[in-house]
Amino acid sequence: MILAKQNHPPTVGGSVGGGKYFVNGGNILSGDIAVQGSKNCLTPILAASIMVSGETVLTNTPDIGDLFSELLILNSIGVSYKKMSGVIFSDAKNAESVPLTSELCDKMRSSILFLAPLLARTGKCDIAKPGGCKIGDRPIDFHLDVIRKMGATVKDEYDLIKCRADKRLHGAIIQFPKISVGATETAICAAVTASGTTKILGAACEPEIMGLAKFLNKCGAKIRGAGTNYIVIEGVKELNPTNFEIIPDRIATVTYLAAAAATRGEIYIRNADSNALYAILPFFEAAGCHLSVSEKGRTIYLNAKNRALKSIGQVTTSPYPGFATDAQPLLMALTASVNGTSIFEDGIFENRFMLVPELAKMGAKIY
Ligand code: UD1
């Protein structure tokens, strides 16, 4: 959708994953596009596949930088994999615990999602603190508290956190002080093959959590309540091979909608899940876009052609089913192109407004 014409002076230059995008503005973005599979669903599932005795087949997988970082980690611990367009075959039968150094972990926040599966599978995980986008402090204390409660020891040795479980992890009551997507995923992964029952209170409800639970249940896990704040898991001895289709990426969907709206275009997005976006889609209508959703919610149509768009009022982010923090910058960029004042409040990450000075460079008035 974005045209890279490197022979023209770029209106915006950015660096992502070591590459650069040159964006020449002034084009209306219109078209028909199938949305990719969700990064935030793929990453925990690929990490959890370490616990499966045999081959995992994942379909609808996106070709993104985080996937390549994750495949490097899998490779280092002896997981064999084959990647074809949109499909990943991985086989963890020879997985072993090797230190996951900062070289492997600092490209992606989700590297911490390897902790529980590797510990559950091998009883040992040495892992560097995760890297990832700098949207806030992003501590990992909840993840470490979960595995401690389930019987592991944790030693923070400067460059590596060394975690050990002499015997099988055991079930526990986990009560999160704050809703955390990643820590809920860690608790689910640690619990599925632990002995006894684990109860997670204050769990995150994101669709990606439901995706992880569906995948693990397909492998023979016993997880109930995923998608609510209270999840109960009965540990099983082993997980069996399966195949699973990654759910649509809701943030990529919002990205395309915002790009079409900001340039006053018209777009059909196929393979989407509009139900996962019900806190966000009304803001496009509030801006004055025409929006419609197909009967099963898989196709979203947005038309902003020749429309004078306006303020969307106030956006306040919160955990699912609230307005996703990852969608906030996209809507802010859209509102920089409309008449009137919109207000944004982000209660999840303290550093989520890093786009403000960049938009201001392009003339947006943001206070
Ligand atoms: C996930 C998503 C990310 C999204 C975020 C919030 C993935 C790979 N990433 O990130 O795109 O922006 O959810 O929806 O799924 N916290 C702690 N201690 C911890 C863990 C988290 O204090 O151990 C705090 C965080 O600082 C933050 C809040 O909990 O304020 C929520 O973070 P969390 O849901 O864990 O974010 P991620 O799972 O890292």
Tens of pLDDT, residues 170-184: 999 999 999 999 999
Contact 258, 291 (CB under 8 A): no
For residue 218, pLDDT over 90 is answered with yes
Q: Which of 265, 244, 247 is nearest to 256 (CA)?
A: 265
Report the alpha-carbon distance of residue 29 to residue 252 in Å, rounded. 15
Instruction: Return the minimum-mean-pLDDT range out of 11-20, 78-87, 241-250, 305-314.
Output: 11-20
Condensed to tens digits (0 to 9), the pLDDT of residues 258-277 reads 999 999 999 999 999 999 99
Can you read off the two tokens belonging to residue 151? 């019987």
Residue 335 near ligand 1, beta carbon < 6 Å: no
Give 55's strand partners: 91
For residue 118, pLDDT over 50 is answered with yes
Catalytic residues: 133
Residue nearest to atom 29 of ligand 1 (CA): 180
Residue 136 near ligand 1, beta carbon < 6 Å: yes
Tell me, what's the pLDDT at 16?
46
Contact 224, 231 (CB under 8 A): yes
Residue nearest to atom 11 of ligand 1 (CA): 326
Condensed to tens digits (0 to 9), the pLDDT of residues 277-305 reads 999 999 999 999 999 999 999 999 999 99
Name the pLDDT band for 9 (thresholds 50, 70, 90).
very low
Condensed to tens digits (0 to 9), the pLDDT of residues 51-76 reads 998 999 999 999 998 899 999 999 99
Across the range 8-29, mean pLDDT stands at 66
Instruction: Return the minimum-mean-pLDDT range out of 2-6, 41-45, 304-308, 346-350.
Output: 2-6
Q: Which of 261, 287, 259, 356 is nearest to 365 (CA)?
A: 356
Tell me, what's the pLDDT at 130?
78
| pTM of structure | 0.93
- What percentage of the chain has pLDDT greater than the value 70? 93
Tell me, what's the pLDDT at 349?
87
For residue 2, pLDDT over 80 is answered with no
Give 268's strand partners: 32, 301
Residue nearest to atom 12 of ligand 1 (CA): 326
Residue 137 near ligand 1, beta carbon < 6 Å: yes
| Residue 206 CA to ligand 1 centre (angstroms) | 11
Residue nearest to atom 15 of ligand 1 (CA): 40
Tell me, what's the pLDDT at 135?
61
Q: Phi first, then psi: what are they for 184, rounded to 5°?
A: -65, -40
Tell me, what's the pLDDT at 4?
34
For residue 239, pLDDT over 60 is answered with yes
Contact 40, 65 (CB under 8 A): no
Residue 43 near ligand 1, beta carbon < 6 Å: yes
Question: What is the average pLDDT value for the chain, to the nearest integer?
Answer: 92
What DSSP character marks residue 170?
B
The Cβ of residue 268 has, within 10 Å, a number of other Cβ atoms equal to 18
Tell me, what's the pLDDT at 136?
61
Across the range 344-363, mean pLDDT stands at 92
Residue 138 near ligand 1, beta carbon < 6 Å: yes
**Atom nearest to 324 CA in ligand 1:** 14
Q: Which of 342, 247, 331 is nearest to 281 (CA)?
A: 331
